[in-house]
Amino acid sequence: MNILRKFNTIHLDRRLATILMMCLLYVGTLSSQSIQLANQYFDEGEYDKAAVIFKDLYAKNKNTDYYLSRLVLCYKSMGEPGQARQLLENAIKETPNNPRLYVNYSDLLRENGEIQKADEQLNKIINILPADKFKIIDASVLLQNLNKMDMALAVLLKGETLLGSGSFSMDLANLYGRMGNRQKMLYYYLDVLKTDPLMYQNITSMVQRTFTSDTEYDDLQQAIYEKLGTDPGNAQLIQLLSWIFIQKKDFKSALRQLKALRSTDDNDNGRRIVELAAVAYNEGQYNVAAEAYKYIIDLGRSSPYFNTAYDQYFNALIKGKLDRGDLTTGEIQEMDTLFTGFLNEYGRSGQTAKVMQTYASYLVLYKNDLKGAIKVLTDYVEVIGVNPRDMAAIKLDLGNYLLMTGERWDASLLYSQVDKDFKEDPLGQEARYRNALLSYYAGDFSWAQTQFDVLKNSTSRPISNDAIDRSVFIMDNMGLDSTDVAMKLYASAELLIYRNQFELALQKLDTLTKQFPEHALDDDVIYAKAHIYVKKRQFDEAIAAYTKVFTDYKDEIRADNALYELAKLYDETLLQPEKAQPLYEKLFTEYPGSILAFDARIRFRQLRGDKVQ
């Protein structure tokens, strides 16, 4: 019996709860309909009808500022400011700690010409502020809308004392920004990081979007130093400081900060340092890049970036030394020791493939040891467990080196294997392009052009551009004489250049100009010689040759190529961007249809200091 009574009681409670919920929903629906009707009356200018509804709603919901504000507007629109005034005075008496009421009352007094009394009402806000974050922010925003910035600031600062330091950091930062106080704005933005590390990306985006000078970055840097004085272990601040140094291209200082960050952040596995190294390398600061990669290497094989770091470390080390001129005998011995030491310690495996590729490239470029490079990569072709893409890259390099030694068919076989394994992939397209070049070098121009025409649509823009360039060149020069001897001489000279047999290539090019004076290939001959001079590091001769092509043969197909190559020579090798910039500009303004115009425009804008995505 007791169980039955208890069941009935529970059942009754549920019914009552359901009925109560339905009543609340009904009341809510009626309230919503009333608001819509009142706003409709207001929009149509029937303020008296709107006032009746808002007055009723306010009487039932005294804590809803919206009803009060709309009712005040109705009275003002009806020409009854006295009723509006009385309404606000009564509201203030009933809820004296509501800042919005004082702002509304001040606004009414100001409209009535009572400026001093209006300001007195605003001054009261500071003393009646409740410990309510929403109301404090609301009061500050209302004051900002009245252009009372100092009072809005005072409200937020009082809020900090009421709710604790850091409660309004973002609001203070934004307000100081509006007031033009950059130093304070930055200070409070940094304060945000302390309570919300996820704001890091927002802050860096804001800085990149709005900062235009080093002075502004200096201000942010100073603000960070001030914050670090009281919070030295803040990882976000250290990371942001490093980010500033990167923006200023002070990569050495950035690296120092990231090393400090790693020592305080157990979750940092070296990713930031690897990313910094890549940026430093691309900006030509090879020594910093090498130092960064070496730091990752010293972390040991447990680092997920160990193999990448080792590979890129060698590249950065070589480039850094070449920045000061050719490698000395001692530096070459140092590189040999590093490479062989790596191989002895870690052996040949899928993880060390990229390092060995770099080693083979080093042997070719700096020791002229083609046989050594071929042996290194031939041994690797037999290694089990190498990633298929890494193996394809090894085969492409090995094919190139075999071609340099005259092993054309062996090179073609390797290219064909990559083409077959990666048919629609840029790797396969690169292999197909190199096979087409082999046909070109051999003088089979028709077959080569057919392949180049197919590769015009390559998904890789560099391959597409090169294919277009080769196809146009063949089309422009085929049939100029009955035997195409000149073209075959030129193609064979290009092959000699590829094989680094520069003196033989120069002899072949000179033979061409003697046998075929004033031939259409004259500009191409000068262009090819410029490439030889660059490889021999005879930069003055290269500059003169490139300049002659786009000056004396400005309407020929090599003019835009020569402009671009000379710009890159100044930009990337000679590190004279001020001389490269006008050449890039000349290319895309005088040759807008060139396939190189897009890249030239992008690099020109970067050198000019534009923010390029």
For 461-498, the three-class secondary structure string (H helix, E strand, C coil) is: HHHHHHHHHHHHHHHHHCCCCCCCHHHHHHHHHHHHHH
- Which pLDDT does position 415 carry in this prediction? 94
- Which pLDDT does position 397 carry in this prediction? 94
Angle at which helix 169-179 crosses helix 182-195, to 10 degrees, equals 160
Cα 168 to Cα 160: distance, rounded to the nearest angstrom: 6
Between 418 and 307, the more confident residue is 418
- Which pLDDT does position 7 carry in this prediction? 39
Does the pLDDT value for residue 323 go beyond 70?
no
CB within 8 Å of 54: residues ≥ 6 apart: 38, 67, 70, 71, 74
Residue whose C-alpha is closest to residue 550's, from 572, 569, 576:
569
Between 22 and 61, the more confident residue is 61
Q: Looking at the domain that runs over 484-608, which CATH code has it been given?
A: 1.25.40.10
- Which pLDDT does position 206 carry in this prediction? 77
Mean pLDDT of 192-209: 78
Residue 449, Cβ density class (10 Å: 0-12 exposed, 13-18 middle, ≥19 buried) = buried
- Which pLDDT does position 20 carry in this prediction? 44
- Which pLDDT does position 548 carry in this prediction? 96
Calculate ∠ Cα 321-323-324, nearest 5°. Answer: 75
Confidence of residue 10 (pLDDT cuts 50, 70, 90): very low
Mean pLDDT of 208-225: 79
- Which pLDDT does position 530 carry in this prediction? 96
Rounded to two decimals, the pTM is 0.62
Q: What percent of the chain has pLDDT over 70?
A: 92
Between 419 and 91, the more confident residue is 419
Confidence of residue 552 (pLDDT cuts 50, 70, 90): very high
Confidence of residue 172 (pLDDT cuts 50, 70, 90): very high
Say if CB 300 and CB 306 are below 8 A apart. Answer: yes
What would the pLDDT profile of 571-607 be if each residue is shown by its tens digit? Answer: 988 889 999 999 999 999 999 999 899 999 999 998 9
Judged by average pLDDT, the poorest of 12-21, 488-497, 582-591 is: 12-21
Residue whose C-alpha is closest to residue 309's, from 266, 280, 270, 257:
270
Cα 222 to Cα 224: distance, rounded to the nearest angstrom: 5
Residue 487, Cβ density class (10 Å: 0-12 exposed, 13-18 middle, ≥19 buried) = buried
N- to C-terminal Cα separation, the chain: 78
How high is the mean pLDDT of the chain?
84
Between 333 and 18, the more confident residue is 333
Q: Give 46's Cβ-side CA count (13 Å radius).
A: 10
Query: Across 9-94, where does the E strand assignment appear?
Result: none
- For the CA atoms of 139, 143, 148, 151, the dihedral, rounded to the nearest 10 degrees, stands at 0
Confidence of residue 540 (pLDDT cuts 50, 70, 90): very high
Confidence of residue 4 (pLDDT cuts 50, 70, 90): very low
From the CA atom positions of the chain, what is the Rg in Å?
Answer: 37
What would the pLDDT profile of 377-407 be if each residue is shown by its tens digit? Answer: 998 888 878 889 989 999 999 999 999 888 9
In order of 347, 489, 505, 528, the CA distances from 502 in angstroms are: 36, 15, 5, 10
Helix extents (H) in 347-484: 353-367, 370-381, 388-404, 408-421, 426-441, 445-455, 461-477
- Which pLDDT does position 324 carry in this prediction? 62
Does the pLDDT value for residue 165 go beyond 50?
yes
Q: What percent of the chain has pLDDT over 90?
A: 33
Mean pLDDT of 264-288: 83
255-262 contacts: CB < 8 A, separation 24 or more?
255/280, 255/288, 255/291, 255/292, 255/295, 259/295, 261/235
Cα 571 to Cα 144: distance, rounded to the nearest angstrom: 50
Between 195 and 586, the more confident residue is 586
Does the pLDDT value for residue 29 go beyond 60?
no
Judged by average pLDDT, the poorest of 23-27, 349-353, 494-498 is: 23-27
Domain residue limits, the chain: 484-608
Does the pLDDT value for residue 360 go beyond 50?
yes
In order of 292, 312, 334, 498, the CA distances from 327 in angstroms are: 21, 18, 10, 21
